[in-house]
């Protein structure tokens, strides 16, 4: 196959058992903890990042708020005081003492704490968003995974969401692309990997000459907004990069600030970020709100899928682009529906980041520049 984009990087990623669970609709965030009742049956626990970050945490929090408000159940947000597994376990313990029957934990930093907590608190139900519980011991090359009967892991096909974003950008006429990821964890890597593949797929479909589409690729190593990330994004825009996929939580705010100053464009991540900046042309979304809402609903209806890993992807409407709020120049809903249908029905194969034996593999796609910060 002729490669339109040229880049080389090694992808480490973990994929889990595919199981389907329903999706829903997005609603606006509520960032205030419910005052009454004083028993908080539903707990949402975060580590880094706030619940109004306009990204990953907010999307999950919206699912908690939506369910609790509809069914008049007490809920509360807890945040670990320090960035350590012990501090996260302490936050879980505080939530349990506050009456939590179901705990939603946000992100990969809770893999080890939930691995431990599911045994410590067998009567509590745990929903681990974006990860699978494991012991964190890499001495054997990979950790030991265990999802207890009182726990469910929730994963997303970020590769497919990234694919749609990359495809749409090239189909909309953009030729100089950028990707700034946060921490190079499996989710961020899959977003970037899919973004490259989607851009290449569109370029080939349009019959563009090899090298017509270029890509700058970089991991910032953090999920917070910093002057360094803004400076890097500004330098990319000033050098001719037209649109940057900002895949780093609050770090995306720095990319948006750079875009607003230089006239560049941004692709948001996790939730619809169109309201964050006029520079955002679309967002590679995980349906966080609906997946969290439905997972909590399963517990209260006696259908909690304990011991399972649920994967949300195109076929169950677990990922997508927000076409109603996207600011494309020419790419439209007809084009989107066509590529989404091909992705969901398997015409376009799943984009795997590891080989059949579970070993990481290098993917040769060509890089224009990797900028150091």
Residue 362 banded pLDDT, cuts 50, 70, 90: very low
Q: Region 37-52: what's the mean pLDDT?
A: 84
Cβ neighbours of 79 (radius 10 Å) = 17
**Structure confidence at residue 141 (pLDDT):** 84
Q: Which residue has the tokens 């950008």?
A: 169
**Structure confidence at residue 66 (pLDDT):** 97
- Model's pTM, two decimal places? 0.83
Which domains does the chain carry? 6-13+158-270+319-366 (3.40.50.2300), 42-156+289-312 (3.40.50.2300)
For 182-197, write each residue's pLDDT tens digit.
998 889 989 998 999 8
Q: Which of 296, 172, 279, 189 is nearest to 230 (CA)?
A: 279
For 196-230, write each residue's pLDDT tens digit.
989 989 998 999 988 889 999 999 999 889 999 99
CA–chain centroid gap for 242, Å, is 23
**Structure confidence at residue 206 (pLDDT):** 93
Q: Region 31-59: what's the mean pLDDT?
A: 76
Token duo for residue 268: 């948001």
Output the 3-class SS for the chain: CCCCCEEEEEECCCCCCCCCCCCCCCCCCCCCCCCCCCCCCEEEEECCCCCCCCCHHHHHHHHHHHHHHHHCCCEEEEECCCCCHHHHHHHHHHHHHCCCCEEEEECHHHHHHHHHHHHHCCCCEEEEECCCCECCCCCCCCCCECCCCCEEEEEECHHHHHHHHHHHHHHCCCCEEEEEECCCCHHHHHHHHHHHHHHHHHHHHCCCCCCCCEEEEEECCCCCCCHHHHHHHHHHHHCCCCEEEEECCCHHHHHHHHHHHHCCEEEEEECCCCCCCCCEEEEEEECHHHHHHHHHHHHHCCCCCCCCEEEECHHHCCEECCCCCCCCCCCCHHHHHHHHHHHHCCCCCCCCCECCCCCEEEEEEECCECCCC
**Structure confidence at residue 352 (pLDDT):** 58
Residue 267 banded pLDDT, cuts 50, 70, 90: very high
First vs last Cα of the chain: how many Å apart?
34
Whole-angstrom Cα Rg for the chain: 20
**Structure confidence at residue 70 (pLDDT):** 96
**Rounded CA separation 45/34 (Å):** 15
CA–chain centroid gap for 46, Å, is 15
């Amino acid at each position: 196959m002729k490669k339109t984009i040229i880049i080389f990087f090694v992808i480490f990623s973990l994929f889990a058992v595919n199981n389907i669970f329903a999706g829903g609709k997005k609603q606006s965030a509520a960032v205030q903890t419910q005052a009454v009742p004083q028993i908080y049956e539903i707990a949402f626990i975060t580590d880094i990042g706030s619940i109004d970050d306009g990204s990953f945490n907010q999307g999950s929090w919206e699912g908690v708020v939506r369910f609790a408000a509809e069914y008049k159940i007490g809920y509360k947000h807890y945040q670990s005081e320090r960035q350590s597994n012990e501090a996260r376990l302490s936050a879980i313990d505080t939530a349990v003492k506050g009456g939590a029957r179901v705990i939603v934990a946000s992100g990969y930093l809770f893999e080890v704490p939930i691995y431990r907590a599911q045994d410590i608190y067998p009567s509590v139900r745990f929903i681990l968003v974006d990860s699978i519980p494991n012991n964190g011991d890499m001495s054997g090359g990979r950790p030991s995974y265990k999802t207890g009967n009182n726990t469910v892991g929730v994963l997303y096909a970020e590769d497919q969401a990234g694919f749609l974003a990359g495809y749409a950008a090239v189909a909309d006429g953009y030729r100089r692309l950028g990707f700034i990821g946060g921490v190079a964890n499996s989710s961020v890597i899959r977003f970037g990997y899919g973004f490259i593949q989607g851009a290449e797929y569109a370029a080939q479909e349009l019959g563009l000459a090899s090298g017509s589409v270029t890509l700058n690729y970089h991991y910032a190593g953090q999920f917070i907004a910093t002057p360094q990330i803004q400076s890097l994004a500004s330098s990319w825009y000033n050098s001719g990069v037209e649109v940057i996929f900002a895949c780093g939580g609050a770090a995306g705010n720095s990319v948006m600030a750079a875009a607003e100053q230089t006239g560049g464009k941004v692709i948001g991540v996790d939730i619809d970020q169109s309201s964050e900046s006029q520079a955002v042309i679309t967002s590679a979304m995980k349906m966080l709100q609906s997946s969290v809402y439905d997972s909590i609903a399963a517990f209260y209806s006696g259908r909690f899928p304990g011991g399972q890993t649920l994967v949300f992807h195109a076929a169950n409407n677990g990922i997508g682009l927000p076409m109603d709020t996207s600011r494309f120049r020419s790419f439209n809903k007809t084009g989107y529906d066509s590529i989404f249908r091909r992705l969901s029905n398997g015409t376009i194969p799943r984009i795997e980041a590891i080989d059949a034996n579970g070993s990481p593999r290098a993917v040769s796609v060509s890089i224009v520049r990797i900028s150091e910060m």
